[in-house]
Structure formats: structure tokens, C-alpha cells
Amino acid sequence: MEEKILEVKDLSVSFDGGVQAVSGVSFDLRRGECFALVGESGCGKSTTARAILRLIRAPGRITGGRILFEDEELLGLSEGEMGKVRGRNIGMIFQNPLDSLNPVYTVGSQVSEGLMVDKMEKAQAWKLAADTFRDVKIPDAEERVRSFPHEISGGMRQRVMIGMMLCRHPKLLIADEPTTALDVTIQAGIIELMNDLRHKYDTAVLMITHDFGIVADMADRVGVMYAGQIVELGDVFTIFDHPLHPYTKLLMKALPVITKKEGRLETIPGTVPDLSKPIQGCRFADRCPDACDRCHQVSPAMTQVTPGHLCACHLVKGGEAHV
Ligand code: SF4
């Protein structure tokens, strides 16, 4: 089994007013692996991803847990030391590339800037930027490096961002809903590109998404998040074929089926609980069709059902308990 490159242990993040956005999240990521965090909007996926790079801005703060990258505690690094980890060792792609690219610089100069931070000569960095554009399948690479962000399409901008991150050969790439703002056909091309490049460079990927299609295309393992906690975790085949947590099962039922000709799409009734108030018992209890009295009083612990498959539900009988 590949070595662990990232270990997130019992991570908690809260915002002003006591909103507990992430509560006791634990998972790990191995070299070259793709781990997907899935769940509804507001369940804490993106906050978890940003916490890894220590990009939580006030009034938010990391209130507990550990984040180990190659056995080094990231929460113990100074801001200067953390700056060397960002981009070089851990890259991040955000949902809207236009927010990440500077409108007054050409895309080529923005890619080469990162390489020059790594002490590369300007001419060499510019050449590598053009090579990178070819790597991410941008046509007319020599021309496109001279384009400004507004002169290229959304799909091309996201390819620029992927190239910008991967040309520095990070060991881990965090992709936060990287295709949400793109058309479906462009999405497919971006996912294919990310898959090709992660295998080529043996880069581990933490994929943040609400789209199970992307999970099926890319992920090796999956963590299902609900209301700031991971409620089920396992390899992608187990989660798709034998989901155990009622929330995961309902998410699967809500997926559109192309062969189903009539009827309405399934939805999950109710809303995510208010995370600014203390929650007693299971966080999913108010929406769960299987909830019983105990569910409203006692929070279920994460337990291992089979090796590598963990679930937090009173109805699922597991073996050893995990944090
Ligand atoms: Fe549903 Fe109870 Fe399981 Fe929570 S612990 S998911 S409420 S059955």
C-alpha cells in the first residue's frame, strides 16, 4: 500500500458566533490517490480543504485537530513556512478560475511567476509555461501564453490553473469544485485532463465535489460529509454499490438515472441543521427516515464496518470505533 501523504485528524473549524463548520473530521490520502469529499452545499467540504492550506480567514479559525503533510504538522508552521508549502508542495484549484487569475497580467506570465519563485530563470520559466500549456492541451500554446484571462474561455482558464499548479509538481493537488462553473462537455475534458496528469506525475488529489459523476470518474476513495462531519468513508466501489449510511443512500437515490423515463427525481426532505446551535444526537436525525429516539439523543460514533469502510450510524453495526 502507498505511503500516506496527508493525514487529517479530528479537524474542527468554527466561525464567529460559534458556527461549527467542521467538526472532528478525519481522513488520509496516499501518494497518487484521489480522495473525494462529497456532500450538499454548506456541509463543510470546502472549509476542510481550505483548512489544510490554512486559508481560513477571520472570523473563522481552526479550533482543534491535526493536519500532517508527509508527517509534518502544518498547524505548527509559521506563516512564512506555510507559504513555501502552498503551491510548491500542495496546489489548489478553485471553482472559478477568473477569481484566481490576475486580469492585468498575461496567463503565461502568471504561470512562469510561480516557476521563478522556485528560482527558475525568466526565459526558462517562460518556455516551461508554454510547454505546460501544451501539457494541458491548450491549442496554439505559444500564442495563448500571451493572452490575458478575459481573452480565453472558462474551460481554457481552468486548464491554465491546472497547468499553473501542476508545473511545479506538487505532491498534493486540492481541487475545490473545479468544473462546477463549466459546461458539461468542458467538464468531461477537464476531468479527463486531471486524471491523465495525476497519473503522469503521481500527484495525490483531494477532490471537493457534490457531483457523484466526477467521483465515479476520478476517485479511489470517498468521504461523505454531512453538517460538518464525515458520516461514511470507503473505497468508491463500496460507497456506490453498498452504501450504509441513510444519508449516503438518499444521495444515491437522488442521482438522475438515464434509463428512468418517468417520475420525479428523488430529493432529501428538510434542510441541514443550524450549526451555530448545539446539536444533540445524530446531525441527520431530523431528515433521516430511520431515526429512532436514541438517534435524537446520542451522537453515533464512526465505526469500521469492514476494513477501510467506516460509517457513523446507530443502525450500522461495526467493529472498532474510530475518532
Ligand atoms: Fe439515521 Fe439514526 Fe443513523 Fe442518524 S444514527 S443516520 S438518525 S438511523
Q: Please say whether the beta carbons of 216 and 34 come within 8 A.
A: no
What are the DSSP calls for 222-236, one per residue? EEEEETTEEEEEEEH
Q: What is the pLDDT of residues 52-102, one digit of tens each?
A: 999 998 889 999 999 999 999 999 999 999 998 998 899 998 877 777 888
Q: Which of 244, 282, 303 best tests ligand 1's pocket when mutated (most atoms within 8 Å of CB)?
A: 282
Please tell me the distance from the alpha carbon of residue 51 to that of residue 57, in angstroms, as a whole number.
9
Atom of ligand 1 nearest to the CA of 300: 5
Nearest CA to ligand 1 atom 7: 285
pLDDT at 264: 72
Q: What is the pLDDT of residues 172-212, one digit of tens each?
A: 999 998 887 677 777 888 888 888 888 888 899 999 998 88
Atom of ligand 1 nearest to the CA of 289: 1
Q: Please say whether the beta carbons of 23 and 228 come within 8 A.
A: yes
Question: Residue 191 C-alpha to ligand 1 middle, in angstroms?
Answer: 34
Is the model more confident about 249 or about 2?
A: 249
Under the banding of pLDDT at 50, 70 and 90, the label for residue 320 is: low
Q: Which of 230, 280, 284, 298 best tests ligand 1's pocket when mutated (most atoms within 8 Å of CB)?
A: 284
Please tell me the distance from the alpha carbon of residue 36 to that of residue 188, in angstroms, as a whole number.
17
Q: Please say whether the beta carbons of 38 and 214 come within 8 A.
A: no
* Ligand 1 shell residues, CB under 6 Å: 245-246, 282, 284-285, 288, 290-291, 295, 300, 313-315
Contacts of 302 (CB under 8 A, 6+ apart): 26, 230, 233, 310, 311, 312, 321, 322, 323
**All three cell numbers of 265:** 427525481
54-87 burial, b at 16+ Cβ within 10 Å, e below that, comes to bebeeebebeebebbbeeeebeebeeeebeebeb
Beta bridge partners of 22: 13
Question: Residue 176 C-alpha to ligand 1 middle, in angstroms?
Answer: 28
Q: Please say whether the beta carbons of 60 and 14 come within 8 A.
A: yes
Contacts of 216 (CB under 8 A, 6+ apart): 236, 240
Nearest CA to ligand 1 atom 3: 313
- Greatest CA separation for the chain: 68
Question: Residue 241 C-alpha to ligand 1 middle, in angstroms?
Answer: 20
Nearest CA to ligand 1 atom 5: 313
